[in-house]
Amino acid sequence: MTFRRSQVAGCGSYLPARVMTNDELAEIVDTSDEWIVARTGIERRHIAADGETTSDLALRASTAALADADVAVDELDMIVLATATPDETFPATATAVQARLGMTRGFAFDVHAVCSGFVYAMAVADNFLRLRQADTALVIGAETFSRILDWSDRATCVLFGDGAGAVVLRSAEGDGGAGDRGILATRLHADGRKHDMLYVDGGPSSTRTTGHLRMRGKEVFRHAVVNLSSVVGETLADAGLTTDDIDWLVPHQANRRILDSTARKIGLPPERVIVTVQDHANTSAASVPLALDAATADGRIKPGDLVLMEAMGGGFTWGACLARW
């Protein structure tokens, strides 16, 4: 019997040209390069130019992913774009990317799960492909978090950056075993009771403003390590695999200490964790596909490797996606 899988056909990413260092931030708020590096591992972040939108970043990442996959725009059946910083309240930023790619068929929509957005979007696209409602999907994570930061709050403004990453998924037949190439398992979770730990204090229906990001960092940190290590275990178990089988963990890049603690908790050696937080900071939904693109481009992730992506963000939301490359 054959089994339908969603295979990763290609990756792409884009980072705005402007790089902001920790020293530059120390000129704006009472912080230091030493504090930021020691507490987070972040050394720099990219910041979108005035007028540069989430769809601008997403379009560049998408074009690169389509070229890497050798897939033409008219082969795409769907676009799912994860973002918490859309160009406009509506329509979906995915439809802006669709139009600018020149895609005139299929469907396009946004997924909003903040930092878990890309993992959510992969799970959604995988389900469409496995249910035969699409054959080829463009999955994007794109953010301009610089627009929702309170640049006077040192506890949050030093942590985030802008960027975009994308993957092309194509359906293929496998035998249903863990050796199949493609997505082997996805797991999603949410707990809306944790709203106050990480949210934006604005929105069209509440304050009619865009608002700013607010976070209780210590509590987010504590929940992140517990939730991420448990969802990793669930996802591996769904595929009948263990931590020893993982070639690469590609975590959401929020804080170097969260990455290290989670890897330790699941018993994975640090050399099998892809880390980009030093260069990108936390780019929310873009962080996992940015890290994927970096690690495939430099040859670390190779065809046949078992790759586990995981993320946690506002909501809380969290989840994981296990794929054989």
What's the closest the beta carbon of residue 296 comes to ligand UT7, in angstroms? 23
- The active-site residue, picked from 22, 252, 255, 321, is 252
Question: Could you give the angle at which helices 256-266 and 217-238 cross, rounded to 10 degrees?
Answer: 40
Report the residue number, 154 or 212, with the smaller CB distance to ligand UT7. 154
CA 233 to chain centroid, in Å, comes to 19
Which residue's CB comes closest to ligand UT7? 217
CB-based burial of residue 192 (10 Å sphere; 0-12 exposed, 13-18 middle, 19+ buried)? exposed
Q: Which of 22, 227, 255, 282 is catalytic?
A: 282
Beta strands in 237-281 (DSSP E): 248-251
What residues line the site for ligand UT7 (CB under 6 A)? Answer: 31, 35, 39-40, 115, 154-155, 158, 198, 215, 217-218, 220-221, 224, 252, 254-255, 258, 282, 313
Complex with ligand UT7: residue 62 or 255, whichever CB lies closer? 255
Q: Is 115 a catalytic residue?
A: yes
CB of 226 to ligand UT7, least distance (A): 13
Which is nearer to ligand UT7, 54 or 156 (by Cβ)? Answer: 156
User: Which candidate, 88, 83, 89, places its Cα nearest to that of 57?
Assistant: 83
Which burial class, exposed, middle or buried, applies to 169 when counting CB atoms under 10 A from its CB (0-12, 13-18, 19+)? buried
Nearer to ligand UT7, 46 or 154 (CB): 154
The three-class DSSP label of residue 107 is: strand
Q: How far is the CB of 198 from ligand UT7 (least distance, A)?
A: 6
Q: How far is the CB of 62 from ligand UT7 (least distance, A)?
A: 23
Residue 112 catalytic?
Answer: no
Q: Give the pairing type, strands 198-200 and 248-251.
A: unpaired
Catalytic residue IDs: 115, 252, 282
